[in-house]
Chains A and B, each alone.
Chain A
Amino acid sequence: MSGVFSGEPHIVLENVWKTFESGSVAVRNLSLEVYCGETLVLIGPSGCGKTTTLRLVNRLVEPTKGRILFDGENTLDMNPDRLRQRMGYVIQGIGLFPHMSVEDNVAVVPRLKKMPRQAVKETVARCLELVGLPVQAWGKRWPRELSGGQRQRVGVARALAGDPEVILMDEPFGALDPLTREVLQDELLALRERLGKTIVFVTHDIHEAMKMGDRVAVMKGGELVQVGEPLALLSRPADNFVADFVGADNHLAMFSFVKVKDVPPRTENLPVVGEGATFGEALDLAERTGIQYGRRRFVYVVDATGRVLGYADIEGFRARNDPVRAAVKPAPSVAPESSVHDALLRMVENGVINLLVLDDNRRMKGLLTFGDLNRLIENQRRGEGCTLKP
């Protein structure tokens, strides 16, 4: 994960200060870079200046001191409306236009950008589809007819519709019930994979921050305290404030922040056979493999294209020449994006100590073993950080 976003900075804040007319200093000497394609999460207690920082980026608030660069250009030299059309904005409290239908809400930015009529229509349909509200069913509805979660989806669709280079999101899921919030978080993660946009995401929920952020910036009293990858904040918090805030001393809770893909899975010496293999071949392979079995030995079975079909128990095999294919059962697995917490849960639920890591196409990314997770816990407890590297 590290190094992926070491490329071009997309947004740069240089020693930015914001003092409101009331005299309250909302942002103090903030310097921060947001890289192309990354999701940067701004987090901190209420009133620490997150919203102000976000609004400084799209010039809804103008800096008292300092510079903000977008694509290398000082935002103060740009037309503010044009600038904002290049940045989607999902606000705290959604702010759908109550007098416009769902499709008209989503069409706002494409129309501002003078997109031709037919293109607007297609864009609206595509964006509503992306957030799971097909235009045929939802386009003509009024915002008041939607649930909180659906409104929030429309808010996201509206921010996407202008095909912005950056999306600014201010506690977009803050007002939703925990279940809907989880669903929308997962959908946003999936969307992000597909769209590859730069996102600045504000939240005060540390779970959300760790889940959504490639990097997390912790703010306090208008100042930036620490910015880094989620695991770095957990294992090397800059001070007690960050440690408390991210809950670095709660070893179990932190497994809900650590993703499966952050734990190097085993990829060598695995008991994997093709779908044409016999029990005899499977048994020989199972003997040679480096992994530990739970109660029974087994092999994973993949088809010719490399997709995992499942696993085959080989303890009670009948004859060495029988095909393993006949004994294949679904194998417990996790996605790389899942948390380690979920992986542990999956192991306990299924009574297994080995868990497949599968991508969207059911291709094997590796194997997560209980032993490895145990070592992770030990390392964390010894204060060596959340890492498996020796």
Chain B
Amino acid sequence: MYLETLSHEVILQLALQHLQLVFCACLAAFLLALSIGIWVTRPSLKDRIAPRLVAQVLFLGQAVPSLAVIGLVMVVFGTGAPTAIFALTLGSLVPMLRNVVAGLRGVPAPVLDAARGNGMPPWTVLVRVELPLALPAIFAGVRTAVVIAIGTAALSSQIGAGGLGSLIFTGLAMFDMPLMLAGAIPTALLAIAADKVLGLAETRFRDKW
């Protein structure tokens, strides 16, 4: 594939594919992070061993580089988009979870006391007090994770999942600098745009109260 023959449509299509990978992975990671984060912060489970273990393992998992994760996942699932999404999900999970846990743990004790002490059932406390108060932190986690995932998703072309990475790696392999840039620059732009948009939304949460 040469740059001369590279139409805008192709770049756009690859960008869409790229975003699709990121979106699926981040959505899955978000739901997982939220569930696990809520689970490990329940007061009744505070001293149980399981939630602590899960958190430990996941936080340790952050030290494993994305490429290695992709490699590992590929060994199990083979190549293709599902593998890429799976690997990206694992990579996004940790920053999100970290913030979900921090956000939920950061709810002031007197506020929780007041909620329970005024007769809110545990589920109501979670939905009406804990999650709203943790929202800014949770959102900051999502933002970080999305930006990282956009970058990391460039690697997914290596396992045949497409995305802007295809241009970058083809360009690298063929010593074709313009081709590589045609992949790298949109990737960077996507990351910056995502950061800005999500940042804007985050400020709106924060300024509400």
Residues on A lying within 8 angstroms of B by beta carbon are 21, 55, 58, 60, 81-86, 88-89, 91-99, 108-109, 112, 142-144, 155, 158-159, 162, 168
State whether B117 touches A58 (Cβ < 8 A): yes
Categorize the interface residue count of chain B.
20 to 34
Closest 8 CB pairs of A and B: A95-B114, A85-B119, A95-B110, A84-B119, A89-B117, A93-B110, A81-B121, A99-B209
Q: List the A side residues contacting B47 at CB < 8 Å.
A: 21
| Total CB contacts across the A-B interface at under 8 A | 69
Q: List the A side residues contacting B124 at CB < 8 Å.
A: 112
Interchain CA distance A96-B118 in the complex, whole Å: 11
State whether B120 touches A98 (Cβ < 8 A): no
B113 to chain A, nearest CB (A): 5
Between-chain CB contacts (< 8 Å), 25 pairs: A21-B47, A60-B113, A81-B119, A81-B120, A85-B118, A86-B119, A89-B114, A89-B118, A91-B113, A93-B110, A94-B114, A95-B110, A95-B111, A95-B113, A95-B114, A97-B114, A97-B115, A97-B129, A98-B209, A112-B118, A142-B209, A144-B209, A155-B114, A158-B118, A168-B117
Q: Which of B108, B111, B115, B119 makes the CB contact (< 8 A) with A162? A: B119
Q: Which residues of B, 116-151, contact A by the 8 Å Cβ criterion?
A: 116-121, 124, 129, 132-133
A123 to chain B, nearest CB (A): 14
Counting CB contacts under 8 A, is B208 at the interface? yes
Q: List the B side residues contacting A88 at CB < 8 Å.
A: 118
Interchain CA distance A193-B120 in the complex, whole Å: 29
Q: Closest B residue to A92 by CB, please name it.
A: B110
Interchain CA distance A97-B127 in the complex, whole Å: 13
Q: Which of B110, B118, B121, B133 makes the CB contact (< 8 A) with A109? A: B118
State whether A84 touches B209 (Cβ < 8 A): no
Interface string of B193-204 (1 = CB under 8 A from A): 000000000000
Q: Closest A residue to B108 by CB, please name it.
A: A95
Q: List the B side residues contacting A143 at CB < 8 Å.
A: 209
The CB with the most chain A CB atoms within 10 A, among B108, B117, B129, is that of B117
Interface of chain A: mostly helix, strand, loop or mixed: mixed
A369 to chain B, nearest CB (A): 48
A278 to chain B, nearest CB (A): 62
Interchain CA distance A83-B120 in the complex, whole Å: 11
Q: Which residues of B, 29-76, contact A by the 8 Å Cβ criterion?
A: 47
Q: List the B side residues contacting A84 at CB < 8 Å.
A: 116-119
> Other CB < 8 Å A-B pairs besides A94-B110, A95-B110, A98-B133, 15 of them?
A60-B116, A84-B116, A89-B117, A91-B114, A92-B110, A93-B110, A95-B115, A97-B114, A99-B208, A112-B118, A112-B119, A112-B120, A112-B124, A155-B114, A162-B119
Interchain CA distance A225-B185 in the complex, whole Å: 76
Q: List the B side residues contacting A144 at CB < 8 Å.
A: 209
Q: List the B side residues contacting A93 at CB < 8 Å.
A: 110
Q: Closest B residue to A21 by CB, please name it.
A: B47
Q: List the B side residues contacting A158 at CB < 8 Å.
A: 114, 118
Interchain CA distance A143-B118 in the complex, whole Å: 17
Interchain CA distance A142-B113 in the complex, whole Å: 19
Q: Closest B residue to A54 by CB, please name it.
A: B117
Q: List the A side residues contacting B121 at CB < 8 Å.
A: 81
Q: Which of B114, B132, B208 makes the CB contact (< 8 A) with A96? A: B114
Interface string of B95-123 (1 = CB under 8 A from A): 00000000000001011111111111100
Q: Closest B residue to A55 by CB, please name it.
A: B117
